[in-house]
Structure 1
């Protein structure tokens, strides 16, 4: 996703760039419609390719979905790590930076939550679903580490249950996402996020 418009690809892209372009196209389509209704024909048409050309880069639709989830996972974890590294302050300040970075990522790519929720609803354990589950597990672990650091620093109340607080952190973001989906727009997510995190912070902060 290097700023390349999903509907105007240059000719003769290298294989890696063509795959990245396919991922961008799927996320663009997912922001417009139910991801379960996206066909390989629609992806190829938006990319101005034949389906045969698309399948030269992916063996099947499942492989395309896995590539999308791998991109989402890699980008989200990279942004979370960058936000944490750039925050020179308290663990609570780092938690807030991570929270806002996550919300900003979703606001920039509104097709992502549709894709994630769609994959998690699958009864079967598809490779894409496994990728999403692994990402959530990694994310929860990072949040838990920050909460433990907050306890050590005396910023997070000693009685706070870290696993529950990590679940609530993720759930608060998911709530903002659901509200955005109900409104049909992610525009207010950033402004709503500030108030939502303030409430979360009050709930876990140490009185001292």
Structure 2
């Protein structure tokens, strides 16, 4: 029996996912064909289907591509000694990918497909729940440490922070003139003023 090299197998899967990424982002899931994915990956359909059973599996893998790194990053944030600094880091971490050209349209396409795919809807819902939980925890800790307005409800406030982050993606996907990278500092400043009521510079009061 031929031995499978885990690293090579993972690299091949990643290659297919990356080849499909631009197609899904520019054409959408429905209009992208497996033949197009095979051509973009430079592989036969037999090779592609050896790694993924169908087009949907590739799409799901693409959306979950950075899940482990994201989970680790959020876990580090909640374990940090300074919840205010960690909160700003999390907001920046979650919002920054909006500046990547393919990410906003992929996010919009995922939201569209979630209405038709219960499994995908569940994955997106779990991601949102995890993010909301971390932000709520950091807000609670920051309020207890006197770093933000203690009168803010952590759960409700987390929802508003996430709405601000989400607006980066929707604006980037729907407004050609919107510059996510240029708008990120403004987003961080809005969050700071919202939570603390002062125009402090990002990171300056976190140390």
TM range (shorter): 0.7 to 0.9
- Is the CA contact 2:19–2:41 (under 8 Å) kept in the aligned structure 1? yes
**4+ runs of 1 displaced by more than 6 Å?**
85-88
Residue of 111, 114, 123 corresponding to 2:115: 123
Q: Match of 2:145?
A: 153
Residue of 45, 51, 57 corresponding to 1:57: 51
1:93-108 residue pairs with structure 2 within 5 A?
Answer: 93-108=85-100
Q: Match of 1:8?
A: none
Counterpart CA distance in 2 for 1:112 and 1:75 is 17
Residue of 23, 32, 36 corresponding to 2:30: 36
Q: Match of 2:15?
A: 21
Deviation at 1:126, TM superposition (A): 3.5
- With normalisation by structure 1, the TM-score equals 0.78
- 1:28-65 Cα offsets, whole Å, 9 max, x none, are 32343334322211111100112222111111122112
Q: Match of 1:195?
A: 186
Change (3 A) 1:184 1:48: farther
- 1:144-194 Cα offsets, whole Å, 9 max, x none, are 1110111111112122111211111111111111221123477x3122111
Counterpart CA distance in 1 for 2:177 and 2:104 is 12
Change (3 A) 1:126 1:65: farther
Instruction: Name structure 1 gaps, 5 residues minimum.
Output: 1-12
Tell whether 2:111 aligns with 1:133. Answer: no
Q: Match of 2:201?
A: none
Secondary structure of 2:90's match? Answer: helix
Counterpart CA distance in 1 for 2:93 and 2:79 is 11
- Is the CA contact 1:35–1:118 (under 8 Å) kept in the aligned structure 2? yes
Q: Give the aligned length.
A: 191
